[in-house]
Structure 1
Amino acid sequence: MEMNFLAVLVAALSSFVVGFVWYNPKVFGTIWMNEIGMTEEKAKQGNMAKIFGLTFVFAFMLAFMMPTLVIHQIGALQLAGGNEKDEAFLAYMQVHGHMFRSFGHGALHGFFASLFIVVPTIATNCLFEQKSFKYAAITSGYWIVVMTLMGAIICGWK
């Protein structure tokens, strides 16, 4: 069972598509900018190559780890010490095969991973940084959508 590099790449790139829509001024972009005190002028001063380049690296890192969160067969392989020829793993795969390898199942696991990992992390930071509820909701909502989509892509793409 090898990792599908193309699925990971597409999952990472999906974060840009979601971000383009999510942070559009007609969706949450204007509210988000107001909440963090960002202006158009200040935004234009940022190093876009650095920002988008590192954003892709971070999205890729997240997508790279998603299989362990959304694909049950990865857990079975891990229990077999990563040995695809392990008799117990082969028996598991013979009985279960690619059961639960679907876009919907991956989306479900991606959603719960974001809800129980990302949201508490963002919320804790927002509490200490005294950020508004709006900011926390917009930022958390983005990551919920991204990780749900990433989970769907990673798990469903065979």
Structure 2
Amino acid sequence: MPFNFYAVLVSALVTLVVGFVWYNPKVFGTIWMNETGMTEEKAKQSNMLKVFGLTIFYSLMLSSIMPALVIHQMGALGVFDGNDKNPDFLEFMKLHGDVYRTFKHGALHGAISGVFLALPITAINGLFEQKSWKYILVNAGYWIVSMTIMGAIICGWQ
């Protein structure tokens, strides 16, 4: 069960694609702008190379940890101290090798990760920043959708 660098790389780009749709004014962009006080003028002042560059960097960090969250066999490997040559691990993989390695199952675990990681983090920050629930739910929803798609790609792409 080698690390699939291509799946991780592609899933990192998901945050850009989902963000393009999610924060579009016809979807949740107008709500987000109203809740943050962002304006078109202020947005145009951003250093977009920096914003997109760091977005890709942080998305790569997130997508790199996603295999541990969405692929059951990663946990099994940990039981055998990461030794993929261990005879017991090899026997386990013969029996259960590709069980639950589907896009659907990865999406489920990605969604669960989004709900139980991204939502609480976003909500806690939003509460301390005295942001509205609209703000919290728009941002958390973005991460839940992104992590769902990331999980599907990482788990299903073998």
Whether TM exceeds 0.5 here: the answer is: yes
User: How far is 1:143 from its partner?
Assistant: 0.2
Q: 2:71 maps to which residue?
A: 71
Please state if 1:96 is matched with 2:79: no
What stretches of structure 2 of length at least 5 have no aligned partner?
A: none
CA–CA distance in structure 2, aligned partners of residues 115 and 89 of structure 1: 31
Query: Paired residue for 2:127?
Result: 127
CA-to-aligned-CA distance 1:67-99 (integer Å, 9 cap, x gap): 000001111111111111112211110111110
- C-alpha distance in structure 1 between counterparts of 2:50 and 2:17, whole Å: 18
> Equivalents in 1 of 2:128, 2:42: separation in Å?
24
CA distance in 1, matches of 2:20, 2:92: 41
Q: Tell me how far apart the structure 2 counterparts of residues 57 and 9 of structure 1 sit (CA, whole Å).
A: 10
What is the CA-CA distance between 1:122 and the residue it aligns to? 0.7
Q: CA RMSD in A?
A: 0.6
Supply the AA of the counterpart residue of 1:46: S
SS of 2:139's equivalent in the other structure is helix
**What is the one-letter code of the residue matched to 1:5?**
F
Matches within 5 A, 1:43-62: 43-62=43-62
Match of 1:11 in 2: 11
**Helix, strand or coil for the counterpart of 1:118?**
helix
Task: State which drifts further: 78-87 or 148-157.
Answer: 78-87
**One-letter amino acid of the counterpart of residue 112, structure 2:** F
Cα distance, 1:62 vs structure 2: 0.4
Query: Taking structure 1 as the reference length, what is the TM-score of the superposition?
Result: 0.98
Q: Give the residue type in structure 1 aligned to 2:141.
A: G
Counterpart code for 1:20:
F
Q: Which runs of 5+ in 1 are unaligned?
A: none
Query: What is the aligned partner in structure 2 of residue 42 from structure 1?
Result: 42
1:107 aligns with 2:68: no
Percent of aligned pairs with the same amino acid: 63
- Which deviates the most, 104-113 or 83-92? 83-92
Amino acid at match of 2:148: T
The Cα of 1:20 is off from its aligned counterpart by 0.5
Task: Give the aligned partner of residue 81 of structure 1.
Answer: 81
CA distance in 2, matches of 1:115, 1:5: 25
